[in-house]
Amino acid sequence: MGTETAPSALLQLIWLASPALPIGGFSYSEGLEAAIDQGLVHNEASATDWVVDQLHLTQSRGDMAVVAQAIPAWQRMDTQRLKALNDWVMATRETAEMRLQAEQMGRSLLDWLRNLQQASDAQLQCCAQLPPTYPLAMALALSLAQAPLDQALQAVAFGWAENMTQAALKAVPLGQSAGQRMLARLAREIPQAVQTALHLNDEDRQAFSPMLAILSSRHETQYSRIFRS
């Protein structure tokens, strides 16, 4: 018949949460590799606790909260609000590695959106002025999916959890069964993290995690490493 239909909102969320999304997330451990080097993470239990803590202490209160606020801002094209959120993300990247990740993954996700011709000219023009960090670029992609906000955040959280689990499998190292148990624990924790992110306002949103910042700084000069953060 030659008639094409757009992917459903659910398929769009699965797509955006997939580790196959070509934005380079697999190359970052977000401090986990440094925690392993320092002996803070050394087995399945400690790796699981580390990633769960990171989900609640940094992701839900920081980047996920930004995504929750940026999705409606993209939908109404509130450029002033988008710039303020993007500036906040950049201001809270405490190390060169964290800043590199936010910029590189944002740039790669924007290239992906251009490739698929999903973003409007107005949205791309706004991106050219920002340019968007990863949370802002992901919020744009999620806004185009038109999925419920809580489901969009679940997709973001699970995509992050899967990348972190893969990092743990490689760096601890752990087996595939351990990785599945980690994901099972994270899947149980994600709904609470999503609710936290949804109910934070600008005054409550924060990215204070001094140990993570210290480990990220140490990782920049770590002798042996396989990840970029």
Cβ atoms 29, 229 nearer than 8 A: yes
Instruction: Report which of 56, 66, 72, 104 is spatially closest to residue 86, judged by C-alpha positions.
Output: 66
Q: Integer distance in angstroms from the first to the last C-alpha of the chain? A: 48
What's the average model confidence in pLDDT over 219-226?
Answer: 86
Residues 174-200 have pLDDT tens digits of 999 999 999 999 999 999 999 999 999
Amino acid symbol at 125: Q
Dist. CA 143–CA 120, nearest whole Å:
12
Highest mean pLDDT among 41-45, 123-127, 224-228: 41-45
pLDDT score of 117: 85
Local confidence band at 3 (pLDDT 50, 70, 90 cut-offs): very low
Threshold 0.85, pTM exceeds: yes
pLDDT score of 89: 97
For 201, phi then psi, to 5°, come to -105, -175
What's the average model confidence in pLDDT over 18-25?
Answer: 90
pLDDT over 90 percentage in the chain: 87
Local confidence band at 229 (pLDDT 50, 70, 90 cut-offs): confident
Q: With 70 as the cut, is the pLDDT of residue 115 above it? A: yes
pLDDT score of 169: 97
Taking residue 11's Cβ as centre, other Cβ atoms within 10 Å add up to 12
pLDDT score of 1: 40
Residues 86-112 have pLDDT tens digits of 999 999 999 999 999 999 999 999 999
**In 120-148, which ranges are continuous DSSP H helix?**
121-129, 134-145
Dist. CA 216–CA 36, nearest whole Å:
12
Q: Is the peptide bond before 173 cis (omega within 30 degrees of 0)?
A: yes
Residues 167-176 have pLDDT tens digits of 999 999 999 9
* Domains identified in the chain and CATH numbers: 30-219 (1.10.4190.10)
pLDDT over 70 percentage in the chain: 97
Instruction: Report which of 191, 153, 126, 137 is spatially closest to residue 25, judged by C-alpha positions.
Output: 137
